[in-house]
Amino acid sequence: MMRKFILTAAAALGLSLVATSAQAAGGVKVPDESWTWEGLFGYYDKAQLQRGFQVYHDVCANCHGLKLVAYRNLTDIGLGEDQVKAIAAEKEVEDGPDDAGDMFMRPAMPSDRFVSPFPNDNAARFANGGALPPDLSLINKARMGGPDYVYHLMLGFKDEAPEGFELPDGKYYNEYFPGHAISMPPQLMEGLVEYADGTEASEEQLARDITAFLNWAAEPELEARKSLGIKVMLFLLVLTAMLYALKRKIWADVEH
Amino acid sequence: MSELNTNNPALKWLEARLPIVSFVDHSLGSKYPAPKNLSYWWNFGSLAGIVLVIMILSGVFLAMNYTAHVDYAFNSVERIMRDVNYGWLIRYIHMNGASMFFIVVYIHIFRGLYYGSYKPPREVLWWLGLVIMLLMMATAFMGYVLPWGQMSFWGATVITNLFSAFPVVGDYIVTLLWGGFSVDNPTLNRFFALHFLLPFVLVGVVILHIWALHQAKSNNPLGIDMKGPNDAIPFHPYYTIKDLYGLGVFMMFFMFFVFWAPNYMGHPDNYIPADPMVTPAHIVPEWYFLPFYAILRAVPDKLGGVLLMFAAILVLAALPWLDTSKVRSAAFRPIYKWFFWLFAVDAVVLGYIGAMPAEEPYVTIGQIATAYYFFHWIVLLPLIGWFEKPRPLPESISAAARKGKAEPAPLTNNLGTTEKA
Amino acid sequence: MADTAHTAHGSSEGESRRDFLLYATTAVGVVGAGLAVWPFIHSMNPAADVLALSSTEVDLSPVAEGQAITVTWRGKPVFVRHRTAEEIEMARSTDVSELRDPQTDEERVKKPEWLIAIGICTHLGCVPLGQKPGEPKGEFGGYFCPCHGSHYDTSGRIRKGPAPLNLPVPGYEFIEDQRIVIG
């Protein structure tokens, strides 16, 4: 029974892989990229996360929110508490009511979550010609292909749509966007930001860094998760080996 | 029930007042006789029970931080993931635990199908198992709605709309389920209440399931009854240790997903907050519903599809009569054995079709696979039982074991090679 | 779990080896189960966002002498009282050795005119009266807890009644002359 079961299970797994890749990005296969956080011992490169944050802060944040992340979380990517305070204080949040019963604006604090560029979705649509720039907090988890998709989307703009493709007004052609007609204009160009650490800001570098930062934003627990996982697995290996040895001893004299 | 063999005065004192120790000993301990030839396929029942406990535990801790309100549900789950201490671990255990529960239970069911565990005298045991499966499906479905992502919302919409297929009363039923005119806050609230309640109902049915099991005793790879003390061994320590070893292996499989591929079995769209105005391009249920989803879509008629989907589960309740074979175990059924595996392939194909968009060639394949699903149970199973000539059954479990030592051929389906080594 | 496995046959040597394995495995299993419980217990401790909100800034300038305000810190009331010279004198002249929970007034305040204390009775957690002008201040001019009759003095120290301890003083700092941050 075992052999046939394994065959059936393998077939099921194979089919499921086919099923997932066929769905990816509306039929467009996203090329596989390699990232530091992949694999058994995956980790984040803090310098890269800080560069990515710089790109987000200077460019993406003009249209895209990051409302699930709090400013205090930025200490995780290696920013100092004073830096975090200063970054938070750039924005204002509504607080109150004060003693007179009025709501008032105050500078954001590290304990606040990222202030979105628009007060609500309708305002965001209105300011962007009807298209809603999605909040980026979970973008790497919320798209087929995850980080690979985000990376290639950033680089996937073409100056002209291929022949026969009717590009609606105000849209841009992107190789990896489902349906190809995307409302966001191309964003990355060489030297878009001047990296504080002196890294050369090529388009690929910018795309890699912003993807890394967004992955951290989506999965801030990843490093803790993988390192705990290793410990749990080693423990289970030892325990299971001992249980197996004990099982053999206990069953040694049973004819079955 | 015989008395407890112990010299411990505290245990004796307790035993005289509440004989719980001997009760456990008789149910899962050294006084419960089990066939001595159970293979590793018999590990999955206890595994399912343990997964249920893990699900209830992790679920209760999640509920401490979850807010069942359309405006807060999504963010409260993300707060669990980001701010609650080890919240990510508890949520990923619960999320992947649901898939693990179905993996384990589906293997458990297929084991029962292969070895004829539904045949007399285990019919009630089998039906209770089906009740458990239906409760699991309802619980899993409602749990998937709680994070209030796009798939949560649209899954809830599509599945509750199934009931609108019923003539006359359909729309009323759906309005009742929703508590409104669309899936909205009242729906989320009641789903949370029911998702919390049903697992405890599940525990109750599991107890009945085990009770029925103890009445008939375990089936075994040979499918023949235990005939005497030589055929049996005490559940403890033999099967407790075997189950624990299996649990260790299973936990490694489970934890691999929790720590390294926590979203592999999920759908990215559920990380997009629910939006009642925008349906995702491609709605698929969780993988464990896919075969049934394929059956639903195989019928171009709304009511027909719904009925056929429910029939796909209900037909299993009739197996004790549909299976006309004199022997239980497929190991002694040279023809049926092959059709069993063909059916397993059919189930996998249905699952694949369920994940595919509703277009050709998937629609036709889905219809053929659906037809075969019912053909297998309603036509093949009774027919093969009549015509097939089963191989001779061993005299007893212990006789087979003695023979197996000399000539292991009939027992290759028993995963016992590692133990014999 | 498998700790009562003693249905052994076989030699005594094999048996003792098995016993060792049984105890070792049980020990490892119990330790593992214990460790696995921790994340669940710890999840009930304050979450990161709760901890991040644990400081509150208070502007003292609107509070005139003899007045008091109550602010919220970590979901609890904090009494801020602008003490009069008389109240300060009362607090300072008390013989510390007679107190149930001996503490000098100087230990309890950073600036004599400002008393800052958590307004929760150390008996069973009620909020004492005495902040608002018309409320009873108890026999010692400070606070009076209506639940079980505890009296606190103008330094928030317990003087009479069932409460065992003084009103706790939260960690706070003057960031400006008239501005404090609690926590």
Q: Dump pLDDT digits (tens) for B13-62.
A: 999 999 998 888 888 888 899 999 999 999 999 999 999 999 999 999 99
Alpha helices in B261-335 (DSSP H): 290-298, 302-317, 319-322
* Structure-token match 């093969």, residue found: B384
Q: Classify the C-alpha dihedral B72-B78-B80-B82 as positive or negative.
A: negative
- Give the active site residue among B26, B36, B69, B214: B214
**Is B341's CB within 8 Å of A8's CB?**
yes
Q: Dump pLDDT digits (tens) for C154-175.
A: 999 999 999 999 999 998 989 8
- Using alpha carbons, list the distances in angstroms from residue C136 to C121, C144, C146, C152, C158: 15, 6, 9, 11, 15
Q: In the predicted model, what is the mean pLDDT of chain B? A: 92
Q: Dump pLDDT digits (tens) for C89-110.
A: 989 988 888 899 999 998 999 9
CATH 1.20.810.10, applies to B36-225+234-282: yes
Determine what percent of chain C is predicted with pLDDT higher than 70.
91
Query: What tokens does C115 get?
Result: 């008393």
- Using alpha carbons, list the distances in angstroms from residue B213 to B132, B209, B220: 14, 6, 12
Q: Dump pLDDT digits (tens) for B243-296.
A: 999 999 999 999 999 999 999 999 999 999 999 999 998 889 999 999 999 999
Q: Mean pLDDT, to the nearest integer, of B297-314?
A: 92
What was the pLDDT predicted at B417?
A: 39
> A245: distance to nearest CA of chain B, Å?
9
Q: Dump pLDDT digits (tens) for A183-192.
A: 999 999 998 9
Q: B284-391: which CATH number, 3.40.50.720, 3.40.50.300, 1.10.287.980, 3.20.20.80?
A: 1.10.287.980
Q: Where are the domains of chain A?
A: 31-69+115-223
Q: Of A69, A239, A255, which has the smallest distance from its Cβ to B248's Cβ?
A: A239
> C46: distance to nearest CA of chain B, Å?
7
Q: Dump pLDDT digits (tens) for A102-156.
A: 999 989 989 999 999 999 999 999 999 889 999 999 999 999 999 999 999 999 9
**Do the beta carbons of residue B329 and residue B223 sit within 8 Å?**
yes
Determine what percent of chain C is predicted with pLDDT higher than 90.
51
What was the pLDDT predicted at B258?
A: 98
Q: Dump pLDDT digits (tens) for C21-31.
A: 999 999 999 99
What is the CA angle B194-B197-B201, rounded to 5?
120
Range(s) for CATH 1.20.810.10 in chain B?
36-225+234-282
Q: Mean pLDDT, to the nearest integer, of B292-319?
A: 93
Known catalytic residue at C6: no
Q: Which chains form contacts with chain B, at 3 or more CB pairs under 8 Å?
A: A, C
| Range with lowest mean pLDDT among B16-30, B175-189, B402-416, C101-115 | B402-416
Query: Residue A25 pLDDT > 70, yes or no?
Result: no
Chain C environment of B234 (Cβ under 8 Å): 7
pLDDT interval class at C177 (50, 70, 90): confident
- Give the active site residue among B242, B269, B325, B376: B242
Tell me which CATH code domain A31-69+115-223 carries: 1.10.760.10
| Alpha-carbon span A121 to A183, nearest angstrom | 15
Of the residues C43, C50, C51, the best mutation for testing chain B's interface (the one with the most B CB atoms within 10 Å of its CB) is C43
**Is C43's CB within 8 Å of B84's CB?**
yes
What was the pLDDT predicted at B110?
A: 97
Query: Residue C4 pLDDT > 90, yes or no?
Result: no
Query: Residue B239 pLDDT > 80, yes or no?
Result: yes
Query: What tokens does A255 get?
Result: 């004819």
Q: Dump pLDDT digits (tens) for A63-102.
A: 999 999 999 999 999 999 999 999 999 999 998 887 788 9
Range(s) for CATH 1.10.287.980 in chain B?
284-391
Fold for domain C52-182? Rieske Iron-sulfur Protein (2.102.10)
